[in-house]
Structure formats: structure tokens, C-alpha cells
Amino acid sequence: MTAIVPQDAATTAKAETAAGTRNSELVAAATRARQKAYAPYSLYTVGAALRSTDGRIFIGCNVENAAFSATNCAERTAFFTAIAEGVRDFEAIAVVGAPAGASPGTRLSCSPCGVCRQVMAEFCDPDHFTVLLARSLETPEDHQAFFLRELLPQAFAGEATRELER
């Protein structure tokens, strides 16, 4: 019988601290990206920061248009920028959204729309890709973390189209 050896508590704490720091840095990058948003119609500005598996960070912001269907969300802007750079492997995205001019103490609640979740499902492992949702403009450590599968449990994936071809 193989014994299960518990991981050293100090090693576990260091790993959790490192992951927490990396996630907080990603939320901070999304907060900065939000400042670049163009949202003259909704007055709701969103920033996103997408981290690839090689550690690069791609930012995006929402860009609105008078023809609303031409609007692009921050999350998709970040993904499309990374894809245009040839990157296809991702580990996490942070999303920060609030009304334009919101004070730093504003409590946030901004989750990716269905289309953005579907784009994530196209490129990310739903059981490992992390979606970070900021809860504060002033404290990057204050965020919620979800795996993509929690936000999109029934994703339409490439496998579904291949099944239809059979």
C-alpha cells in the first residue's frame, strides 16, 4: 500500500501566496485596462487582463459603437489581441467593470457575458482556466475566482461539431 505523504504546510502556503500575488497582479492590470475603455453609450467601463501559460499578459477594454452589435467586450479584446500575436494557451483572465467615474470604494459585480464565456471555451481548458472577478477598484486582492466550467457548464465546444459530422 502506498502512503499518502501530506505536502509540507510551508510549501503549500508559499504556493498559495505566489498564486494569490499573481492573481492580484492580473486584477491590477485589468483595473488599468479599464481606464482605456470607450463606453459613451452604456457608461460602463470594463477592463480585462489575460495571462497566457508562458506568463505574458494581454489587456483588453470594452469598445462600444453606436451600432451596438459592433461593440466588443474587454474579455474578447484581450483574447483577440493574444490570438493575433499567435498565442493560444491561457491560464487565467481578470475582469474589472464599473460605471464610468465610479469611486475607488465602489463594490463591483461584473461577470463575462455568454459570448465571452464561449470564446474562452474555444481556447481554454474549462477545468483549469481561472476567471477572476474583481470586487473592488482599490484592492486587487479582493476578487472571486472561478473555473470556466463553473461559469459555462454546458459550453458549445469543437467536439460537439465533430460529433455532428459523424
Helical spans, DSSP H, in the chain: 9-34, 74-84, 114-123, 148-151, 158-165
| Three-state secondary structure call for residue 71 | coil
Q: Mind telling me the catalytic residues?
A: 75
Count CA atoms closer than 13 A to 137's CA, side-chain side: 19
Per DSSP, the three-state class of 9 is helix
And the C-alpha cell for 40?
Answer: 459613451
Give the CA distances from residue 56 to residues 4, 29, 150, in Å, rounded to whole numbers and listed in that order. Answer: 35, 12, 25
Q: How far apart are CA 122 and CA 113, in angstroms?
A: 15
